[in-house]
Amino acid sequence: MKLPDLDYIRPGTLQETIDLLVAYEGEAKLVAGGQSLMPMLAFRLLAPKILIDISRLPGLNAIDIGPDGVRLGALTTWRDIERHAALKTAHPLLAAAIAHVAHYQIRNRGTVGGSLAHSDPASEFPALVTTCDADVVVHGAGGERVVKGSEFVLGAMTTSLEPDEMITGIRFPAWPAARRWGFEEFARRRGDFAMAAAVVFYDLDAGGRAADPHIGIIGEPERAVRLAAVEDLLTGRVIDRDVIAEARAIGEQAAQTSDDIHTPAKYRKALIGTMIERALMTAAGLELRPVAA
């Protein structure tokens, strides 16, 4: 469908953007890459009075790698991440997970800030923010504030952003070089939204046991979540095939799925279990056993 009747403005600075958000009192929508917003407008799910184009705001598309971790400006695109060679060692999980986001043409325009603000429960980036507990840097009429990654996404397409606020950056904590990690996703077609995915990482203590494991999943209807039951199971254990089998079973049990147009709840639970198993196998450097014919 054609877009609803709307006006358009392209402010030159962050402050002008915030002033416009304040002046329109919730009747304006920011547009960054437009790769989620434009379909919503075309379906007439939204009809804002005006679009505020932030895609050319200066200084918001930098990728900074430092001792404190990786900072992504809100306007960083999927392609920027894909092309950034140093990210593959500075944050290999981020680089690997983002390779699953959308198709070629969409990757050229879609941004990390837009993905997080949109917070589709099946999208990869919010799952990374949640699982890594990244800091979300937000600017609004009251100045800057930082929201913890675990508290930013509240539910499907719902975040803790106020109407006069925008995301300016995301800060991922430093990634130790020896960290073990895995990312596994199931989608029907390359580049489609995940039906299920697992985001997994842990460090090794002196005895080769898992320390501070983080296990996040995509597949619940509201948002990506961490599975505390699986993290508790893995803490202090040597990650071998038996532990992974247990983690898969507990993860499947803990995941809260529901029937939807894509899959029955039970199938999605099984998918989540399989993704947890595969991601842990990768993290532990183990090979999946071939399925008996």
Interface with another protein (CB under 8 A):
1-8, 10, 31, 34-35, 38-39, 42-43, 49, 51, 53, 55, 79, 102-106, 108-109, 189-191
Q: Which is nearer to ligand FAD, 139 or 179 (CB)?
A: 139
Check residue 152 for interaction with ligand FAD (CB under 6 A): no
**Contact residue for ligand FAD among 4, 26, 39, 59 (CB under 6 A):** 39
Contact set for ligand FAD, span 52-91 (CB under 6 A): 74
* 108/204 with CB nearer ligand FAD: 108
Q: What is the token pair recorded at 58?
A: 């200066």
Strand partners, 218: 197
Which of the listed partners (another protein, ligand FAD, none) does 193 bind, with a CB threshold of 5 to 8 Å by partner kind? ligand FAD
Q: E strands along 68-209, which residues?
A: 69-73, 135-140, 143-148, 153-155, 158-159, 166-173, 180-186, 196-204
191: region left, alpha or beta (phi > 0 left; psi from -120 to 50 alpha) = left
- β partners of residue 171: 71, 135
Q: Which of ligand FAD, another protein, none sits in contact with 57, Cβ below 5 to 8 A by type?
A: none
Residue 189 binds which entry of ligand FAD, another protein, none, CB below 5-8 Å type-dependent: another protein
Three-state SS letters, 90-153: HCHHHHHHHCCCCCHHHHCCCEHHHHHHHCCCCCHHHHHHHHHCCEEEEEECCEEEEEEHHHHE
Q: Are 200 and 281 in contact (CB under 8 A)?
A: no
For residue 30, the partner it binds in another protein, ligand FAD, none, with Cβ less than 5 to 8 A by kind, is ligand FAD
Catalog residues that contact ligand FAD under the rule CB under 6 A: 29-37, 39, 74, 101-102, 106, 109-111, 113-115, 117-118, 123-125, 161, 166-167, 191-193
